C-alpha cells in the first residue's frame, strides 16, 4: 500500500490535525453542573416509554372472536377453502407496503 500514512491513527481512523481546545475552569465547572440535569431530563421520556411498553405487554392481544368462531366452524364443516393466489397477493401487498 502506498500513500501518506501520517494521518492514519492506530485503528485506521483519521488523526486530529488541529490541537484540542483547552477548557477553562469556568467552562469545565459549567459542563459538570449541566451534566446531571441533562441526564435527568433525558431519562424521563425513556422511563415513560418503558412504563408504556410494560403496560402494553401486560394486555392481551386483540382477537376478533367472531372471526375465529366462523373460521373454526368452516374448518369443522369442511367449507374452508384455501386460495393460493389470494394468499400470495396478500403476502406481496404486505411486504411491499401495499393496501391490505
Quick check: 100 and 93 in contact, CB under 8 A? yes
Whether residue 7 is contained in a domain is answered as no
55 and 66 co-located in one domain: no
pLDDT grade for 9, boundaries at 50, 70 and 90: very low
The grid cell for 12 is 485506521
The total number of structural domains that make up the chain: 2
Give dist(CA 18, CA 4) in Å, integer: 18
Residue 26 has pLDDT above 80, yes or no: no
Which pLDDT belongs to residue 61? 82
Q: Name the residue range of residue 38's domain.
A: 24-59
Mean pLDDT to the nearest integer, 34-61: 75
* More confidently predicted of 48 and 17: 48
Amino acid at each position: 500500500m502506498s500513500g501518506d500514512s501520517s494521518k492514519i491513527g492506530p485503528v485506521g481512523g483519521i488523526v486530529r490535525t488541529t490541537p484540542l481546545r483547552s477548557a477553562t475552569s469556568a467552562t469545565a465547572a459549567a459542563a459538570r453542573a449541566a451534566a446531571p440535569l441533562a441526564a435527568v431530563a433525558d431519562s424521563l421520556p425513556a422511563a415513560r416509554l418503558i412504563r408504556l411498553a410494560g403496560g402494553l405487554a401486560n394486555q392481551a392481544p386483540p382477537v376478533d372472536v367472531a372471526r375465529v368462531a366462523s373460521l373454526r366452524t368452516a374448518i369443522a364443516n369442511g367449507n374452508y377453502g384455501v386460495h393460493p393466489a389470494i394468499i400470495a397477493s396478500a403476502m406481496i401487498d404486505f411486504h411491499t407496503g401495499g393496501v391490505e
